[in-house]
């Protein structure tokens, strides 16, 4: 039976959600005449949001609806499924009869024509898709993500297929082609050649075809903008964790107006999104923000960000420098899903840099282009080789390709800088953390299991205020043009050194081997906070996440070599990396508890006591 909750509030994966707020936002879309949103509880432990829509004459896609919602709502308030109806069922009193709403029909979710699975493996993969998504009939050409798949559901499909075939593969590899036919083909290739056979099929040379920059993106004949004293700056990713602090530092260190690209339904909604991000991470939205932040409503993955040619050209005339920080960061989704915003978005940023006048592009990459491609240490601040030693998994693959595209632009005469940050966690004054960072998700989930895993790797993270201040400072130095900089802590510590600080905060736990921690995580229900991290844990188990950065190996090299350009740029300033110590950890934990993203020690103890009582 398919029944939704009739109250207006629900809780999904730890987030409290106001259903009426989603309905109102949907109804503000010009194509939507009416909307009803429910929390489907038909699968125990795995509630999901379903939106029932009455549309006007014009058609609207799932992607358009998600973009509209993300303009004013957080990601966890996106419906898993949209159902389009001719009319809503009503009670005798004229109110929506929520219990009479139909179960989502798979054909309403499908963009490709239905074609039946052809082989036994395809049929079983289709069944796994359907079981996870709550769809009765799935075709061989159906894309898992177009049908409503997300990081939680892809983990469930992976578990089903691992049980069926013993195919315990990293999900970005298993879902390289996220259709039924594509996943079945990967399984069959695994049967023929094993894991090594799959690895051998991933020729690094295939990445070369992705490194392309339109021939018309070039600075030839254009005047140079005032890149060292900009009056206008273009910033992407300002609604993210690092992005809001980059925005703060640009306002602090320059006098420029900052034009922020934001997915929104209007400039007012864009400003609201930026304000909410600032509030979330305790950034003071003061006079500088109110007068100098200029919203640009657009989408990174669209040509010209979805702007008209005139609007794009007008924007280009106002900009002297570009800070490209935005990316879709996901360690589970395949390259095909991440390519649009991460690779095409970089191309469109470079197009803006070569329109009207030549602008400098400051590109934010990631340490994972080195770790994920199995580059040997020390990690030097050098351009990437033509081909990686190992094809990185999906997210760092998009960043590798984007770096190479930025290099192409540099060769054509576009001034650039590239920054490779490592993990950023905490703020020296507020403790502000990115709540969905995989390390913190793991901490939250494992603590509820009463364990933390043995993990003999380097923790070279730094605080977000240090990273953003250093980043913007370097971009304002002329000698930085054309260089690459690493943003991480040269005074790294062993990851397990932080466990004593977690204990001194009041948490009780047992340290267990990593393999045992993963095995315990496998046994949790989908509603457990560790469940969404399972694909990342499998990624690390397989070695696909990259070569281990062992503490013993770290002690054999001079980490200052890995940040030589950054350290040189800091000379003569008061910018120094803060200590990663007990206070840093306690401030971070306090922030997470305050934001409701981590249970306090007392609640964890009650949880452990309840579990012990149930076992007895």
CATH superfamily of 219-421: NAD(P)-binding Rossmann-like Domain (3.40.50.720)
Between CA 337 and CA 344, with CA 340 as vertex, the angle to 5 degrees is: 150
More confident residue, 528 or 198: 528
Residue 1 — pLDDT band, cuts 50, 70, 90? very low
| pLDDT given at position 332 | 75
Parse the chain into domains and list their residue ranges: 9-104, 120-201, 219-421, 493-561+572-615
Q: Are 225 and 321 contacting, i.e. CB atoms less than 8 angstroms apart? A: yes
Cis peptide before 378 (omega within 30 of 0): yes
Q: Are 335 and 394 contacting, i.e. CB atoms less than 8 angstroms apart? A: yes
> What average pLDDT does this structure show over 243-269?
95
Give tens-digit pLDDT for 403-462: 999 999 999 999 999 999 999 999 999 999 998 788 888 999 999 999 999 988 888 899
Does 554 have pLDDT greater than 90?
A: no
Most confident of 32-36, 62-66, 123-127, 310-314: 310-314
Those residues whose C-beta lies under 8 Å from the C-beta of residue 44, and which sit 6 or more positions away, are none
Q: Output phi, psi for 479, to 5 deg.
A: -70, -10
Residue 168 — pLDDT band, cuts 50, 70, 90? low
The whole-angstrom separation of Cα 484 and Cα 271 is: 32
Give tens-digit pLDDT for 73-113: 776 788 878 888 888 888 887 788 888 888 765 445 544 56
Those residues whose C-beta lies under 8 Å from the C-beta of residue 462, and which sit 6 or more positions away, are 422, 423, 424, 487, 488, 489, 577, 578, 580
Q: Are 474 and 409 contacting, i.e. CB atoms less than 8 angstroms apart? A: no
Residue 247 — pLDDT band, cuts 50, 70, 90? very high
Task: Tell whether domain 9-104 is in CATH 3.30.300.30.
Answer: yes
Give tens-digit pLDDT for 310-331: 999 999 999 999 999 999 888 7
Q: Are 349 and 409 contacting, i.e. CB atoms less than 8 angstroms apart? A: no
The whole-angstrom separation of Cα 290 and Cα 278 is: 12
The whole-angstrom separation of Cα 157 and Cα 132 is: 6
Q: Are 244 and 277 contacting, i.e. CB atoms less than 8 angstroms apart? A: yes
| pLDDT given at position 314 | 97
Q: Are 148 and 529 contacting, i.e. CB atoms less than 8 angstroms apart? A: no
> What average pLDDT does this structure show over 531-546?
77
Does 3 have pLDDT greater than 70?
A: no
Alpha helices in 113-237 (DSSP H): 120-133, 151-165, 171-174, 180-201
Fold of 120-201: 1.10.1200
> What average pLDDT does this structure show over 568-583?
93
The whole-angstrom separation of Cα 358 and Cα 414 is: 7
Strand-pair partners of 9 = 18
């Amino acid at each position: 039976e398919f029944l939704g909750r009739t109250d207006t509030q629900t809780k999904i994966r730890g987030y409290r959600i106001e259903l009426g707020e989603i309905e109102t936002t949907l109804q503000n879309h010009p194509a939507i005449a009416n909307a009803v949103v429910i929390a489907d509880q038909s699968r125990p432990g795995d509630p999901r949001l379903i939106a029932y829509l009455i549309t006007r004459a014009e058609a609207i896609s799932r992607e358009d609806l998600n973009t509209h919602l993300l303009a004013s709502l957080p990601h966890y308030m996106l419906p898993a499924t949209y159902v389009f109806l001719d009319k809503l069922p009503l009670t005798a009193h004229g109110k929506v009869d929520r219990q009479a709403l139909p179960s989502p029909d798979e054909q309403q979710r499908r963009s490709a024509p239905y074609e039946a699975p052809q082989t036994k493996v395809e049929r079983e993969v289709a069944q796994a898709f359907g079981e996870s998504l709550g769809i009765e009939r799935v075709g061989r050409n159906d894309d898992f993500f177009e049908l409503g798949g997300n990081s939680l559901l892809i983990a469930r499909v992976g578990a089903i297929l691992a049980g069926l075939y013993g195919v315990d593969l990293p999900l970005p590899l298993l879902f390289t082609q996220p259709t039924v036919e594509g996943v079945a083909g990967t399984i069959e290739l695994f049967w023929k050649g094993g894991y090594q056979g799959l690895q051998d099929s991933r020729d690094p040379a295939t990445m070369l075809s992705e490194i392309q920059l339109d021939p018309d993106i070039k600075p030839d004949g254009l005047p140079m903008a005032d890149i060292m004293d900009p009056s206008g700056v273009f910033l992407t990713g300002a609604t993210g964790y690092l992005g809001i602090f980059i925005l703060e530092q640009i306002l602090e260190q320059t006098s420029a107006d900052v034009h922020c690209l934001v997915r929104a339904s209007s400039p007012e909604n864009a400003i609201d999104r930026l304000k909410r991000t600032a509030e979330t991470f305790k950034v003071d939205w003061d006079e500088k923000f109110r007068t100098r932040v200029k919203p640009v409503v657009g989408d990174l993955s669209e040509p010209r960000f979805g702007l008209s040619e005139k609007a794009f050209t007008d924007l280009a005339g106002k900009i002297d420098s570009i800070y490209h920080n935005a990316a879709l960061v996901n360690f589970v989704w395949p390259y095909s899903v991440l390519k649009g915003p991460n690779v095409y978005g970089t191309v469109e940023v470079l197009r803006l840099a070569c329109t009207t006048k030549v602008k400098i592009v400051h590109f934010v990459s990631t340490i994972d282009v080195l770790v994920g491609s199995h580059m040997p240490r020390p990690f030097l601040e050098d351009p990437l080789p033509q081909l990686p030693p190992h094809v990185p998994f999906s997210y760092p693959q998009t960043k590798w390709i984007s770096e190479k595209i930025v290099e192409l632009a540099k060769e054509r005469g576009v001034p650039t800088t590239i920054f490779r940050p490592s993990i950023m966690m905490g703020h020296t004054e507020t403790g502000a953390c990115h709540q969905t960072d995989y390390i913190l998700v793991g901490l939250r989930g494992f603590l509820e299991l009463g364990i933390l895993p043995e993990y003999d790797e380097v923790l070279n993270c730094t605080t977000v205020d240090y990273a953003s201040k250093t980043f913007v400072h370097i971009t304002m130095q002329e000698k930085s043009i054309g260089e690459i900089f690493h943003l991480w802590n040269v005074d790294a510590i062993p990851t397990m050194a932080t466990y004593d600080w977690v204990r001194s905060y009041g948490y009780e736990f047992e340290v267990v081997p990593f393999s045992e921690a993963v095995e315990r995580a496998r046994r949790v229900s989908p509603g457990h906070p560790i469940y969404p991290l399972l694909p990342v844990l499998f990624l690390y188990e397989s070695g696909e996440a990259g070569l281990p950065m062992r503490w013993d190996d770290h002690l054999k090299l001079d980490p200052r070599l890995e940040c030589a350009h950054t350290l040189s740029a800091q000379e003569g300033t008061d910018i120094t990396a803060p200590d990663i110590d007990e206070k840093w950890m306690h401030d971070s934990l306090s922030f997470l508890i305050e934001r409701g993203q981590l249970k306090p020690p007392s609640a964890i103890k009650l949880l452990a006591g309840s579990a012990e009582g149930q076992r007895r």
